[in-house]
Amino acid sequence: MTTDWQFHLNKAAKNWRDWQDVYEHRGSERDNPLLADAARFGTFVKVYSVGRTIRCGTSDDLRRLLRSPQFLLTELLQDTTGAALDEEDFKLRKLFGTREGQRGLRSALSKIVAFLAPHAFNAWDTYALKGLAVQTCPLKIRTYTEYLTQINQLLGGGLGDCIREVCIDNYPTSYSEEQGRFHRRVLDRYLMDLGGRRRR
């Protein structure tokens, strides 16, 4: 089966342009439009279907907490192993998770950090997880740390080489080219497609 890299690249490029103000924000992460603008965050929650993992009526409270000085957002974004995200998921589920705090916020948090630090993180997605199982040995991935480790191995290997090659002269912006930011978005699209997400 031949991979339609142009399809994945085009979808990733459209996503980048749609959210360029968020991906390319150069100020404080707390002032990123994703967190600073309640309406923008509301759109994000709806478009990325993370509302089903955040307890009803609390998504704006979560946004405000992530922006607050009490929340160690910088530290979370600097831990590129994903371990800090796993820790925050465990802590925040009690306040914001569905099923009376039993369901975690891993999906929502991973999508937020993938927007705020696109050079370092990928979104946890059910389809991408299935695609990862197809692409690599089907290990049972239980944590975001394990997920990100597998993603980074793919990016560092032959699949990453294919993505880098198709991206030459095809980056949506010059900023997206730096630090492999856009490569992670293309890999997201590829894994979701491989995992059975309907093409749209």
In-domain check, residue 199: no
pLDDT of 1 > 50? The answer is no
Enclosing domain of residue 42: 5-194
pLDDT digits (tens, 9 = 90+) for 45-72: 999 988 788 988 999 999 999 999 999 9
| Total number of domains in the chain | 1
Q: pLDDT (tens digit, 9 = 90+) per residue, 162-198?
A: 999 999 999 999 999 999 999 999 999 999 998 887 6
Q: Examine residue 200 and state whether it is found in any structural domain, yes or no.
A: no
Tell me the DSSP string of 31-87.
Answer: GSHHHH-HHHHHHHHHHTT-GGGB-TT-HHHHHHHHHSTTS-HHHHHH-TTSHHHHH
Average pLDDT, stretch 85-108? 87
Which residues make Cβ contacts (< 8 Å) with residue 81, sequence separation at least 6?
145, 148, 149
Count helices and strands (H / E) in the chain: 14, 0
Residue type, 130: K
Asked if residue 24 belongs to a domain, the reply is yes
